[in-house]
Chains A and B, each alone.
Chain A
Amino acid sequence: MIRINLLPAELRRGNRLPTKVLAAALGAALATSASIGWFGLVWFGDLAAAEGKLLSVEARLGDREKKVAYVDLLEANQKDYATRVQTILDIGKSRRVWSKFLDELIDVVNNNGDAERHIAWIDSLSVKGDPKKGAAVTMQCSVQGEEQDRLANFHDDLEAAPFGKEVTRSDPVWKRDDDKARLPPVSLRFPLTLQFQPTVKEVPKAKPAPKAPAKK
Chain B
Amino acid sequence: MANWTQKKLLVTIGGSALGLCLMAGGGIYYTMGLVSDVETQVTQKEEAVAAAEAKIKRTAGLERDVIILRENLDDYVKVLPNTKDLTAFVRMLDQFDRQSGIQSTGLVQKARRDGKGERFTPIEYTYEMTATLWQCMKFMNLIENFERFVSITEFSIQAGGEKKGEDTREGDVVHKVKLTLQTYAYNGKSEGKDVVIADYDTQRDLLHEVIWKRRQAIRLDRYNHRGAQGRRDILIDPRERGDLRVDGPSQAEQRAVLERYIGEVTRLREMHLKIKKQDTTLFEQYSLEKGLKDGLEKMASTLDTDASRLSYALYRLRWAKEVVTPLDELRGQIDAVAKAQPVKTDPYLPQKEMQQLVAEMAADCSSGQLEQAKNRYDAVAGRMTVPSGDPRHELAVAAKSWHVKATTALDFKGLDLRVQGVVVNREGRSGVLLNGETYEEGEYVSDDLLVKMVEEEQVWFVFRGLTLVRTM
- What 13 additional pairs, Cβ within 8 angstroms, besides A24-B13, A88-B218, A99-B137? A42-B31, A46-B31, A50-B39, A54-B42, A54-B45, A61-B45, A74-B59, A81-B70, A88-B76, A91-B151, A95-B149, A95-B151, A99-B144
Q: Are B184 and A121 in contact (CB under 8 A)?
A: no
Q: What are 15 contact pairs spanning A and B, CB under 8 A? A: A25-B13, A38-B24, A57-B42, A65-B52, A70-B195, A71-B58, A71-B59, A71-B62, A87-B119, A97-B223, A110-B232, A113-B315, A120-B234, A122-B234, A122-B235
Q: Does B318 contact A (CB under 8 A)?
A: yes
Q: Does A211 contact B (CB under 8 A)?
A: no
Known: A92-B220, A113-B321. A39 touches B45 (CB 8 A): no
Interface centre among A51, A100, A113, by most chain B C-beta atoms within 10 angstroms, is: A113
Interface centre among A29, A32, A112, by most chain B C-beta atoms within 10 angstroms, is: A32
Q: Does A172 contact B (CB under 8 A)?
A: no
* B231 to A: closest C-beta gap in Å: 5
Stretch at the interface among A163-171, A180-188, A202-210: A180-188
Q: What chain B residues lie within 8 Å of A5 (beta carbons)? A: none
Map CB proximity to A onto B19-63 as digits: 1 under 8 Å, 0 otherwise: 011011101100110110011011001101100110110110011
Q: Does B237 contact A (CB under 8 A)?
A: yes
* B336 to A: closest C-beta gap in Å: 25
Map CB proximity to A onto B317-359 as digits: 1 under 8 Å, 0 otherwise: 1100110000000000000000000000000000000000000
How many pairs of residues, A versus B, come closer than 8 Å at their CB atoms?
A: 256
Q: Does B9 contact A (CB under 8 A)?
A: yes
CA distance A125 to B17 in the complex (A): 106
CA distance A183 to B49 in the complex (A): 88
* B210 to A: closest C-beta gap in Å: 14
Q: Are A57 and B45 in contact (CB under 8 A)?
A: yes
Q: Does B112 contact A (CB under 8 A)?
A: no
Q: Are B239 and A183 in contact (CB under 8 A)?
A: yes
Q: Does A115 contact B (CB under 8 A)?
A: yes
Q: What chain A residues lie within 8 Å of B141 (beta carbons)? A: 99
Known: A21-B9, A46-B35, A106-B234. A57 touches B56 (CB 8 A): no
Q: What chain B residues lie within 8 Å of A61 (beta carbons)? A: 45, 48-49, 52
Q: How large is the interface on A (under 10, 10 to 19, 20 to 34, 35 or more residues)?
A: 35 or more
Q: Are B156 and A85 in contact (CB under 8 A)?
A: no
Q: How large is the interface on B (under 10, 10 to 19, 20 to 34, 35 or more residues)?
A: 35 or more
Q: Are A47 and B31 in contact (CB under 8 A)?
A: yes
Q: B residues engaging A (CB < 8 A)? A: 2, 6, 9-10, 13-14, 16-17, 20-21, 23-25, 27-28, 31-32, 34-35, 38-39, 41-42, 45-46, 48-49, 52-53, 55-56, 58-59, 62-63, 65-66, 69-70, 72-73, 76-77, 79-80, 119-120, 133, 137, 140-141, 144, 149, 151-159, 180, 184, 192-195, 197, 217-218, 220-223, 225-226, 231-232, 234-243, 314-315, 317-318, 321-322
CA distance A124 to B418 in the complex (A): 79
Q: A residues engaging B (CB < 8 A)? A: 15, 18, 20-21, 24-25, 27-29, 31-32, 35-36, 38-39, 42-43, 46-47, 50-51, 53-54, 57-58, 60-61, 64-65, 67-68, 70-71, 73-78, 80-82, 84-85, 87-89, 91-92, 94-100, 102-103, 105-107, 109-110, 112-113, 115, 119-129, 135, 142, 144, 179-184, 187
Interface residues of chain B: helix, strand, loop or mixed (majority) = helix
Q: What chain A residues lie within 8 Å of B226 (beta carbons)? A: 103
Residue in chain B with minimal CB distance to A74: B62
Known: A87-B120, A99-B225. A126 touches B137 (CB 8 A): no
* A176 to B: closest C-beta gap in Å: 15
Q: Are A82 and B156 in contact (CB under 8 A)?
A: no
